[in-house]
Amino acid sequence: MACFDEQAVEKSHEVDVESVASSGPVEGDIYANAPAGKATNFQAYVNIVSVLAGAGTLGLPAALRDAGWVGLIILALACAMAIYSNQKLIKCLYYDGRNRLREYPDVAAAAFGVPGRIVVTFFYNSIALGGPVLYLILTGTNIHSLASSVGSTITLKQWIMIAAAIMVVPIVLTKTMREVAFLSIFGALSTAIVVFIVMIAAIIDSKNFDEVMKPNGQLEPVHHDVAIPRNLPLALATFAFSYGGNVIFPHVEESMKHKSAWNKLILWGTLTVTLLYFLCSTSGYAVYGDIVKSPIYMNLPEGATRTVSTIIITLHVLLAIPLFMTTFNLQVEAALKLDSRGLSTKTEFIYRAILRTISMVVVATIALFFPYFGQMMSLLGALSDGMLTFVFPVVFYLKLYGFKSVGKAELLVMVFVIIVGTAGSAVGTVDAIKELAKAYRGELDH
């Protein structure tokens, strides 16, 4: 998952939930009253790829390690579920033929009123805060790895604190998303570059395919599993994290000139990042087997390749932190009505600086206590992305359009998505918490 769009947090609006709930499904041209967009289909495609492709890609080989080769089937399943659910989410925006809904929480409110909005907002904000935690961990880990190679004695947790202190400055100074929204494209490009670097390095390293250095310091055969059933929900959670980002898709679709092309674009955009996921996960797991790490480039031999990969991803995640934090902070500031209290510019800035510093301290504190990238990624994916990406869009669609709006075959598909998504999120959350606890106690080998 990558960044958040400026429109997602800067435009305030009201949705007449009662009006939406009382109207039936609309026939005819559902786009007739939609706001006109200017983005071409290609621009929308790039936006979709930019939203989806993030640093989470680099944790997918470890998901295969946990699930075995059958994890590729889970990846394909997650891809199909994400495409289907995101098509349904956008169709929900047009339930009311008079006024297009604008955001994901508006769909939840139209379906289930205020409770629906609260639930979606909770999961959304867990991502908005969980993302910076995850990226701060990765930043600290990367800098610690680079610095240790040149003799630095600064610890991982100290690097996390240093990184957090540095990032307070842009977070405080960046008032809106306008200044940082373009960074999503950089994030997607940097991830793609590192994936191809890792692939090439793994191919070169494949001369050691039969034997690798295990944690005990001995050369042993690479081990691969076909399937590890108990870890499949955890793998689904990791893949869910990688397909997260649909809170932004209503804004991507809103910007499109040809909105009827959405289903086709979300299909090809998701398939594009899935190809990236497939290349990264299979090459990493094939070469390194059960000792593959998260992120994958930590398996690369010491040298220029690993250093370049580490630097590129570190820059990416550092720049991504303000995107997540600004999204969260703008919501809090809007709730506190900082912009509408008649405060002077100086006083408003002071309040904003205090609020944003406190939020960064909270994020840094969590990262310090649980500095485990792979386990935190699984937890975030299971807890929030699984429900937001797979389950809620289908549930909201059925509530808004009714069971009679779909045929029996499609209804079975919907039930399957809801059951698999909910079960995967529930079991995955429990497993992720257990894995995080093991990592905290130092009981994991990887």
50 in a structural domain:
yes
Question: What is the domain extent for residue 358?
Answer: 37-441
pLDDT value of residue 305: 82
Quick one: DSSP state of residue 29? -
Instruction: Judge whether 7 lies within some domain.
Output: no
Q: Are 158 and 392 in contact (CB under 8 A)?
A: no
Are 439 and 375 within 8 A, CB to CB?
Answer: yes
pLDDT in tens, 122-155: 888 888 788 888 889 889 988 998 898 888 889 9
Here the tokens at position 221 are 């055969």
Residue 133 placed within a domain:
yes
105: in domain: yes
Q: Which two tokens stand for residue 424?
A: 């995967």
123 lies in a domain? Answer: yes
The pTM for the full model equals 0.79
* Model pLDDT, residue 98: 76
**Positions of the chain with pLDDT under 70:** 1-35, 55, 176-184, 207-220, 339-342, 443-446
| CATH code, domain carrying 71 | 1.10.4160.10
Query: Does 176 fall in a domain?
Result: yes
Provide the pLDDT for residue 196: 86
The Cα–Cα gap between 334 and 10 comes to 9
Residue 236 contacts residue 71 (beta carbons within 8 Å): no
Please give the pLDDT value at position 149.
Answer: 83
pLDDT of residue 369: 86
- The pLDDT, as a whole number, for residue 128 is 78
Residue 10 has which token pair? 């800067």
Q: Give me the amino acid identity at 394.
A: V
Distance CA 428, CA 67 (A): 12
pLDDT, position 37: 76
The reply to whether 193 falls in a domain is yes
Q: What is the number of structural domains in the chain?
A: 1
What is the distance between the alpha carbons of residues 89 and 107, in angstroms, rounded to a whole number?
Answer: 8
Determine the Cα–Cα distance for residues 188 and 316; give it in Å rounded to an integer.
Answer: 9
Question: Which amino acid is located at 176 in the chain?
Answer: T
Cα(5)–Cα(184) distance, integer angstroms: 9
**In contact, 217 and 411? CB cutoff 8 Å:** no
Q: How many CB atoms lie within 10 A of CB 113?
A: 13
Residue 3 lies in a domain: no
SS3 149: coil
**Amino acid found at 166:** I
pLDDT for 361: 94
pLDDT in tens, 363-373: 999 899 888 87
Inter-residue contact 48 to 205 (CB < 8 Å): no
Q: How far apart are CA 253 and CA 262, in angstroms?
A: 7
Integer Cα distance of 77 and 200 in angstroms: 27
Whole-angstrom Cα distance, residue 290 to residue 257? 47
In the prediction, which pLDDT does 324 show? 78
